[in-house]
Amino acid sequence: MKVSVVVNGQERSAEVEARLLLVHFLREKLRLTGTHVGCDTTSCGACTVLLDGTPVKSCTMFAVQADGREVTTVEGLAAAGTLSPIQEGFKEEHGLQCGFCTPGMLLASKALLEENPDPSEEEIRWALSGNLCRCTGYQNIVNAVQWTARKLQSDSATTGAS
């Protein structure tokens, strides 16, 4: 089957088996290996991408289900060599160690902040509860989201004032 998906702003098409998972389409067909597979059972969230802006677990979707839709992966967060505010927040607050869950965490966090620019700690913990992490223990990840929320607010205040 032919599938055509806008990935990180670029239209990408490929001939795929109907059973091909979206995560394998991204990793194997498009060689976007920032999206990881951690569990096979929709439990860990390492494969989280944004589908039309909403976080989904790409190991539990077929590529054909994304046909005609927009997907954002970690590679689409910022131009290569630069960091977007959420990526910067994770670095500042030591919100990553081995980096394997990080792409999923970043995308889930980005979606949260777009919907709720000033989340409480409880709201952050709830929004990230579909993403498992073994190394950092979450506290610094929560701090990273809070750091980013503050940064985005101060950036928009600066922009608003100018």
Which residues contact other proteins by CB under 8 A? 17, 19-20, 24, 27, 31-41, 43-44, 46, 73-75, 77-78, 80-81, 83, 87, 90-92, 94, 96-103, 106, 124-126, 128-142
Cite the DSSP H helix spans in 5-138. Answer: 22-24, 85-92, 102-115, 121-127
**Least separation in angstroms between CB 38 and other proteins:** 5
Q: Return the number of the residue (67 or 85) whose C-beta is nearest other proteins.
A: 85
Which is nearer to other proteins, 66 or 75 (by Cβ)? 75
Q: Provide, rounded to whole angstroms, the least separation between the CB of residue 63 and other proteins.
A: 12
- Looking at the Cβ atoms of 66 and 141, the one nearer to other proteins is 141
> What are the structure tokens assigned to 19, written together?
């059973």
> Letter for the amino acid at 2?
K
CB burial string 121-144: b at 16+ within 10 A, e below = eeebeebbeebbbeebebebbbbb
